[in-house]
Amino acid sequence: MGHGWEGVVLKLMRGRDFTFTVTATEPPAGGFRRLTVTDGGLLAATGGAHPTMWVRLWFDRAGKPHQRAYTLVDPDPEAGTFTLEFALHEGPATDWALAARPGDTVEATLQGTGFTLPEPAPARLFVIGDPASLPAINSLLDALPATPATVWYETPPGEDAEPPLRLDPARHTLHRVERRGGALADAVRSGLPGLLGADASDAYVWIACDTATTRSLSAYVRKDLAVPKDRVHALGYWRAA
């Protein structure tokens, strides 16, 4: 499958292509479908994986290439494997994930995934995300195992199941927010200032939800709450229709 004009642009931006092969699948659970894949040499080519590392997977939509980004979950550089977690919703990526069986392949492009853990390590972590960024949230929490974290997590309307977040009740506080017009941003604006206090220099704020909310909260955290730019990471994971 060709990658169309997006693939050409990614090539010009030094994107590297790989082919992943499904080796194991798990039944859908908690709104996700988990697939284990071999990495097609990706981890060896990159020298391993960093927290929240993601790739673009390519799917067919009405005969045209369609790409979406997915986080590498539990990468094993020695074995050359990792897991992909697909949040289940209507679309070609979900269709492919539900139908996938061992031996199936999917093409991938690595470009734009750079992320470095803050130095010095934060004493406090504040995370804002949703099902699209759940694997990345878990990756970040795993990478900072000693850091207390407060997580604002947006759930689909009517979703009662506990999200499969890797939370330690002794260190992590979860605020679930049902998805409805601006509720996630409102919850963060209401709760974050009091938790940050007057000095945010030892904190780190990580934001990854829909693009509009991410941009709004990123500007709020930097300008209104005066969190230093190098202590904020913000990346829009999807666009609302």
Helical (H) or strand (E) element with 70: strand 64-71
Q: Tell me phi and psi for residue 161, to 5 degrees.
A: -65, 145
Pairing of strands 172-178, 16-25: unpaired
Where does the pLDDT of residue 1 fall: very low under 50, low under 70, confident under 90, or very high at 90 and above?
low
Fold match flag (4-110 vs 124-234): no
pTM of the model: 0.89
Dihedral angle, C-alpha 59, 65, 67, 73, nearest 10 °: 30
| CATH level 3 topology of 124-234 | Rossmann fold (3.40.50)
Pick 14 or 167 by higher pLDDT.
Answer: 167
For the chain, the structural domain boundaries read: 4-110, 124-234
- Contact present, 135 and 74 (Cβ < 8 Å): no
Model pLDDT, residue 104: 98
Each residue's pLDDT tens digit, 5-24: 565 555 544 678 999 999 99
CATH code for the structural domain at 4-110: 2.40.30.10
Given a cut of 60, whether residue 193 has pLDDT beyond it is yes
Nearest to 152 by CA among 135, 172, 129: 129
How far apart, in whole angstroms, are the C-alpha atoms of residue 208 and residue 135? 11
Nearest to 86 by CA among 137, 138, 33, 35: 33
